A and B are shown apart, each in its own frame.
Chain A
Amino acid sequence: MTGFIYEKNEQDIVTITMDMEGPVNTMNEKYMELMAETIERLESEKDSFKGVIIASAKKTFFAGGDLNNLLAINKGDEEEFFKANEINKQYLRRLEKLGKPVVAAINGAALGGGCEICLACNYRVAINDPKSQIGMPEVSLGLLPGAGGVVRTVRMLGLQNALPLLLEGKRLKPERALKAGLIDELADDANDMIEKAVKYINANPEAVQPFDVDGYKIPGGDLKNPNVLQVAMIAPSMLLKKTKDLMPAPKKILSVAVESLRVDVDTALRIESRGFTSLITSDVAKNMITTFFFQLNELNAGGSRPKEIEKTKVKKVGILGAGMMGQGIAYVSAKAGIEVILKDISMEAAEIGKDYSRKICDKLVSKKRMDGAKKDALLNLIKPVEKDEELEGCDLIIEAVFENIELKKKLFKDTEKYLTKNGVYGSNTSTLPITELSKAVSKPENFIGLHFFSPVEKMPLLEIITSHKTNAQTLAKSFDYAQQIKKVPIVVNDSRGFFTSRVFGTFIDEGCKLLKEGVDPVLIDKLARMAGMPVGPLEIHDEVSQELSKKVAATNRDLDKMIGQEFSDIHLSSVEVGNRMIDEFGRGGRAYGGGYYEYPENGKKYIWPKLYELYHNPEVNLPHQDIKDRILFRQVIESLKCYEEGVFESVINGNIGSIMGIGFPPHTGGVFQFINTYGLNNFVKRVRELSDKYGSDFEVPQILLDRAEKEELFV
């Protein structure tokens, strides 16, 4: 039997066990029916019981809104949606005002709408399972908690405490949910949970919500309290600083949260519904639900992984090169419990690589995010070495030395033999063709590109690059390793610059091109940030360093000769400008004493004054929208070319890769979703405008023309 099962026991306590069809309980039309019946019955039989326990028959408590349904709501459906949402809220309101104690028995995850059901109970007991999550992550999908989550948390916890939960969409383990005030009590197991629920019911026969009691004081105070008022006044600026006003959801959440304090609960709930409705058909919500829920789930579920191969786990990884990348890979691997052999040319260099992990651990320990034992365990897994033989028995070796083909090839030859049978050989190259590199190994089928991003422990992406010869097992193992170290894997086919580096290159290049055209360098970086990039193209060029660009370019020239094919980066303004910076002015990047910017020891970076002399033309006055579009559209066009050339099969890799690897603005849903939302034909039109004004980098790729003609979205 499925549904909401109503059972009254001999103690006169009613348990409503939510057991909807399908693997989880979710807020859909059926839920509305079930909730309506349940509320009616509870109200009519309320004299016959002492209290109510809301429980779940599933592994999780309740999964929240049905995103398939939410995604299907189109412009024009808003009024109907608003009305339905108001009805849904009325049920929860009636639940909390039943006049008998209602307890949420939270056996597992209660996210989004699930968490909001809990908030509409009078008391919340959760099993203390660190794997279960409680919270309202709606904001990360461009939505707001529209089933009373904003109104109730603000009233129950106070504005200051509620805002971080709502604006960051935090998912909390039960222990932290208790601290945050989202739940009232922890239980050891299901029996303990029910016992505690019963105890509450017996002790509070006429439970009401605290905020429904006259004279209730909101923790921290209401808007008459100067501290709270200050939050209302400062928080908007902090939010805009972060979102550049590109994210409507947190903006609406903050507005509703503050406004909810100015009115009574019922009015506040209606205001919240209006806000929720205003987001539901927004482009950003559609983009974020599409990319961060459906596409990311598909990716994580192994959409790009060969299905027939059994899951594997890496036990021992060898990392060649303990520099910036190698040390980061060592840390994330050890953190996942993998034994790490960290090799460099000297013990000293290898030890320095290991120190990186020690520093991260120390920081976590000092913040009480890690205990000493865990730190020791993690560090014990990393063995710094200088001899190749130590790699014996590794089932994965990752090469992370600098981009020199000959050096890499030599290393492969020297170390391949230490791999276990069918062990995987990975290269963390960001540009060199995997096919070319794999020529150096005896088993190219076991060779693969594993492109990490810096800083490794923070960047969520792993770009996996397969050559024609890479076999399915190798890809599957690499994919599994990515998940083992909690990275999101995208899978791309071998190509010069793969996907992310190629697209990232166009981002920097467009910045340098604008600089060459005379645009104020400050404006270039500012507008890139305002368009949603995490940093500007010139700033980031300083960070990756013009020196590195130069080396990569040189390597690419060697490669051109080797494989008899000219790589497009030869024409790039970023190479021209970067090389000039180094050759004429010795400005190789931040790590080399400065690049486009000066980096004073005690102060903020500022544009190197000479840069203005070299490039700035005050008469150049491009429309800001053109600059923003150029910066984003260049990346999209390059991604289209990648797709056209078969660099990846599914646009999902492009969407996720562009956001997580390059920092393409998340509100767009990624490079391809951006086109869908912009409108294919509008996009073509805009690209043509840009190409008319700014040249051939903005030529419309054929695939876009074809798709636009057929109005076939990139999905």
Chain B
Amino acid sequence: MSTPAFIYDAIRTPRGKGKKDGSLHEVKPISLLTGLLKSLQEKHDLDTSKVDDLVIGCVTPVGEQGSNIAKTAVLAAGWDDKVAGMQMDRFCASSLETSAIATMKIMSGWENIVVAGGLESMSRIPLGSNGAPWAEDPQTAMDTGFVPQGIGADLIATIEGFSREDVDAFAVSSQKKAHSAQENGYFDNSVVPVKDENGFTILDKDEFIRPNTTVENLAKLNPSFEFVGSLGFNAVALSKYPHLPAINHVHHAGNSSGIVDGACLLLFGNEKAGKDMGLTPRGRIVSSSVTSTEPTIMLTGPAPATYKALEVAGLTLDDIDLFEVNEAFASVTMRFQKETGVPWEKINVNGGSIALGHPLGATGGILIGTVLDELERQNLRYGLCTMCAGGGIGIATIVERI
């Protein structure tokens, strides 16, 4: 018999533009985490000696974001020495995975309170800083058909027949939904302002949203992957999809996930530990499944992972009230909808990573918090968060509001 595991809270930093002029560029990666840890502790008057572990997803764990930053953050935040700490990387799926691991740890009965989450300071530690044999070792790259993700995204659009106008329209809708959610304060429950050592607020809301985006102004942007595709990656991709005459390059900065800085934390625990600490459960993870798909197209994992998670949970697509399908690229979410037939009204109701940004290691946990807030707001029961990730990985996590 497994022990039920609850989500007691989900908090996050606002997402800052992941460039030099982004508000969070001046904030050290460690500080993004320690700010949240301190805030979580204060909010619940948490006795941190009761926390078994902190599991943090981080995709680029090098330099000032490196070497198991989870443990370092525990120390820097002044949490009890007993809290262990682990950093892990499942590419973009990292903090859906850390949340799943926290749940499993508790369900196994081996641990009582686990904090999960994720972190990515993309402005300070640029994507790719940690290197990768898949991209950098020619033998491996050639044997396995490596292409950059954007090529995969464009390949999806080509196969599914999404035009440039389609993907741009999707991006515009993401912006509008995100803007409206922000204006209506739907993110306020989760967002903890990032402050400096003096207590001055550095950033208190997501700053990547561009509410004035239109299909017309997006049309002016050049496709991002046309050139690199033309060098050879298109040919590599097409060798796996020989029926296609060419790849239609539709993705650009405006309809791909934004590069941002951010972090999130989720507090998990079993019923007794929660009660002892005076915590009220907000939800639970019903199931979380990973799978992997053809690696060259790379980004088609969400639908198969979703079916897998539904099967584990004993639920059907219809049981799910809200879907968070990470907008790594517009075509990823559009394909998921097409493949599953889930009505658009249930998908990314408060926008997604195109408008809000995708702090790689932190996004999964943010999605759980976002869907949980929305389930509470609308008084609904089930939410499903799904993401594509490097190498073809797909992950889906079903959340139940309590």
Q: Do A and B come from one complex?
A: yes
Chain B 9-33 near chain A by CB (<8 Å), digits 1 or 0: 0000000000010000110100000
Partner of A274, one of B63, B124, B197: B197
Chain A residues numbered 313-354 whose CB sits less than 8 Å from any CB in chain B: none
Q: How far is the CB of A233 from chain B (nearest CB, A)?
A: 12
- The interface residues of chain A, by DSSP majority, are classed as helix
In the complex the two chains form, is B20's CB within 8 Å of A274's CB? Answer: no
Bits for A39-81, please: 1 = Cβ < 8 Å to B, else 0.
0000000000000000000000000000000000000001100
Q: Say yes or no: A78 contacts B198, CB within 8 Å.
A: yes
A262 to B25, CA, bound (A): 10
Please tell me if the beta carbons of B200 and A267 are within 8 angstroms of each other in the complex.
Answer: no
- How would residues 200 to 214 of chain B score, 1 for a CB under 8 Å from any chain A CB and 0 otherwise? 100000000000000
A386 and B64 alpha carbons, distance in the complex (Å): 68
Interface residues of A in 80-112 (CB under 8 A from B): 82
Partner of A267, one of B26, B63, B64, B196: B26
Please determine whether A263 and B196 come into contact, CB atoms closer than 8 angstroms.
no
Pick from A223, A267, A270, A278: contact of B197, CB under 8 Å: A278
A79 near B124: Cβ-Cβ < 8 Å: no
Q: Tell me if B196 and A274 are in contact (CB < 8 A).
A: yes
Task: Confirm or deny: A271 has a beta carbon within 8 angstroms of a beta carbon on chain B.
Answer: yes
| Contact indicator A277/B198 (Cβ below 8 Å) | yes
The answer to whether A79 and B200 have CB atoms under 8 Å apart is yes
Min CB gap B67→A, angstroms: 12
Pick the contact of A271: B20, B26, B200 (CB < 8 A). B26
B28 neighbours in A (Cβ, 8 Å): 259, 262
- Cα separation A277 to B199 with both chains bound (whole Å): 11
Most chain A CB atoms below 10 A, which of B28, B63, B198, B200: B198
Q: Report how far A460 CA is from B44 CA in the complex, Å.
A: 53
Knowing A262-B64, A267-B20, the reply to whether A278 touches B198 (Cβ < 8 A) is yes
Complex: A264 Cα to B22 Cα, angstroms: 12
Cβ-defined partner of A82 (8 Å) among B25, B26, B64, B200: B200
Contact B20 A82 (CB under 8 A): no
Interface residues of B in 12-61 (CB under 8 A from A): 20, 25-26, 28
Interface residues of B in 182-206 (CB under 8 A from A): 196-198, 200
In the bound complex, residues from chain A placing their C-beta under 8 Å from that of B64 are: 262
Q: How far is the CA of A275 from the CA of B31 in the complex (A)?
A: 14
Q: Is the CB of B198 within 8 A of A267?
A: no
User: Most chain-A CB neighbours within 10 Å: which of B20, B26, B64, B196?
Assistant: B26
**Bound Cα distance from A275 to B196, whole angstroms:** 9
Min C-beta distance of B17 to chain A, whole Å: 13
Q: Which residues of B contact A78 (CB under 8 A)?
A: 198, 200
A274 in contact with B198 (CB, 8 Å): yes
User: In the docked arrangement, what's the CA distance between A536 and B124, Å?
Assistant: 44
Q: Which single member of B20, B63, B196, B198 contacts A264 (CB below 8 Å)?
A: B20
On whether the beta carbons of B197 and A275 are closer than 8 Å, the reply is yes
* Distance from A214 Cβ to chain B, minimum over Cβ atoms (Å): 13
Query: Do residues B26 and A263 form an inter-chain contact, with CB atoms below 8 A?
Result: yes
Question: Nearest A residue to B201 by beta-carbon distance?
Answer: A79
**B124 near A262: Cβ-Cβ < 8 Å:** yes
Q: Which residue of B lies closest to A271 (CB)?
A: B26
B63, B124, B197: residue with the most chain A Cβ atoms closer than 10 Å? B197
Nearest CB on A from B32, distance (A): 14
Residues of chain A contacted by B25 (CB below 8 angstroms) = 263, 267
Residue of A nearest to B26 (CB): A267
Query: Once bound together, how far apart are the Cα atoms of A274 and B197, in whole Å?
Result: 7
A82: chain B residues within 8 A (beta carbon): 198, 200
Distance (whole angstroms) from the CB of B23 to the closest CB of chain A: 10
CB distance from A151 to the nearest CB of B (A): 12
Assembled-state Cα–Cα distance A643/B96 (Å) = 67
Chain B's nearest CB lies how many Å from the CB of A273? 10
B60-79: which residues lie under 8 A (CB-CB) from chain A? 63-64
How many Å lie between the Cα of A223 and that of B62 in the bound state?
13
Q: Is the CB of B20 within 8 A of A263?
A: yes
Interchain nearest-CB distance for A627 vs B (Å): 23
How far is it, in angstroms, between the C-alpha of A264 and the C-alpha of B124 when the chains are bound? 10
Interface size classification for chain B: 10 to 19
Q: How far is the CB of B207 from chain A (nearest CB, A)?
A: 15
Give the CA-CA distance A223 to B63 in the complex, in Å.
10
> B197's closest neighbor in chain A, by CB?
A278
Is the CB–CB distance between B198 and A270 below 8 Å?
no
User: In B127-182, which residues have CB < 8 Å from any A CB?
Assistant: none
Which chain A residue has the least Cβ–Cβ distance from B202? A274
Cβ of B31 to closest chain A Cβ, rounded Å: 10
Residues facing B in A248-281 (CB within 8 A) are: 259, 262-264, 267, 270-271, 274-275, 277-278
Instruction: Return chain A residues, CB-CB under 8 Å to B124.
Output: 262-263
Give Cα A251–Cα B73 distance, bound, in whole angstroms.
Answer: 19
Whole-angstrom distance from the CB of A535 to the nearest CB of chain B?
31
Question: Looking at the complex, which one of A259, A262, A274 makes contact with B200 (CB distance below 8 Å)?
Answer: A274
Q: How far is the CA of A78 from the CA of B197 in the complex (A)?
A: 11
Residues of the A chain whose Cβ atoms lie less than 8 Å from the Cβ of B63? 223
Most B-side CB within 10 Å, residue of A78, A223, A263, A275: A263
Chain B residues whose CB sits within 8 angstroms of the CB of A223 once the complex forms: 63
- Count chain A CB atoms within 10 A of each CB in B28, B124, B196 and give the residue with the most: B196
Q: Whole-angstrom distance between the alpha carbons of A278 and B28 in the complex?
A: 17
CB neighbours (8 Å) of B197 from chain A are: 274-275, 278
In the complex, which residue of chain B has the Cβ closest to the Cβ of A269? B26
Give min CB distance, B69 to chain A, whole Å: 15
Bound Cα distance from A278 to B198, whole angstroms: 6
Bound-state CA distance A264–B28 (Å) is 13
A contact residues around B26 at 8 Å (CB)? 263, 267, 270-271, 274
- B198 proximity list for chain A (CB < 8 A): 78-79, 82, 274, 277-278
Distance between Cα atoms of A79 and B198 in the complex (Å): 8
Q: How far is the CA of A271 from the CA of B64 in the complex (A)?
A: 16
Q: Which residue of A lies closest to B200 (CB)?
A: A79
Q: Which of B275-326 contact A (CB under 8 A)?
A: none
Residue among B20, B124, B200 with the most chain A CB within 10 A?
B200
Q: Residue of A at shortest CB range from B20?
A: A264
Give the most central of A78, A223, A262: most B CB within 10 Å. A262
In this complex, what residue of A is CB-closest to B64? A262
Question: How far is A526 from B59 in the complex, measured between Cα atoms in Å?
Answer: 43
Complex Cα gap A471–B269 (Å): 79
Bound together, the chains give a CA A252 to CA B197 distance in angstroms of 11
Q: Whole-angstrom distance between the alpha carbons of A545 and B319 in the complex?
A: 85
Query: What chain A residues lie within 8 Å of B200 (beta carbons)?
Result: 78-79, 82, 274, 277
Contacts of A267 in B (CB 8 A): 20, 25-26
A271 contact set on B, CB distance < 8 A: 26
Residue among A259, A267, A270 with max Cβ neighbours from chain B (10 Å): A267
A residues 272-318 near B (Cβ < 8 Å) are 274-275, 277-278
The distance from the CB of A89 to the nearest CB of chain B, in whole angstroms, is 14
Chain B residues near A270 (CB-CB < 8 A):
26
A78 to B195, CA, bound (A): 14
A555 to B8, CA, bound (A): 73
> Cβ of A262: which chain B residues have Cβ within 8 Å of it?
28, 64, 124
Q: Which residues of chain A in 218-249 are interfacial with respect to chain B, using CB atoms and an 8 Å cutoff?
A: 223
Give Cα distance in the complex from A130 to B152, angstroms.
69
Give CA–CA (A264, B21) in the complex, Å: 9
Distance, CA A274 to CA B196, complexed state (A)? 7
CB under 8 Å from chain B, chain A span 665-688: none
The complex places the Cα of A90 from the Cα of B25 at a distance, in Å, of 19
Q: How far is the CB of B188 from chain A (nearest CB, A)?
A: 23
A267-B202 Cα distance, complex, nearest whole Å: 12
Interface residues of B (CB under 8 A from A): 20, 25-26, 28, 63-64, 124, 196-198, 200
* Chain A to chain B: the 6 pairs with minimum beta-carbon distance, closest first: A274-B196, A267-B26, A278-B197, A264-B20, A277-B198, A78-B198
> 10 A-B contacts, Cβ less than 8 Å apart?
A78-B198, A82-B198, A263-B20, A264-B20, A267-B25, A274-B196, A274-B197, A274-B198, A274-B200, A278-B197
| A262-B28, A263-B124, A267-B25 given; 12 more Cβ-contact pairs under 8 Å | A78-B200, A82-B198, A82-B200, A262-B64, A262-B124, A263-B26, A267-B20, A270-B26, A271-B26, A274-B196, A274-B198, A275-B197
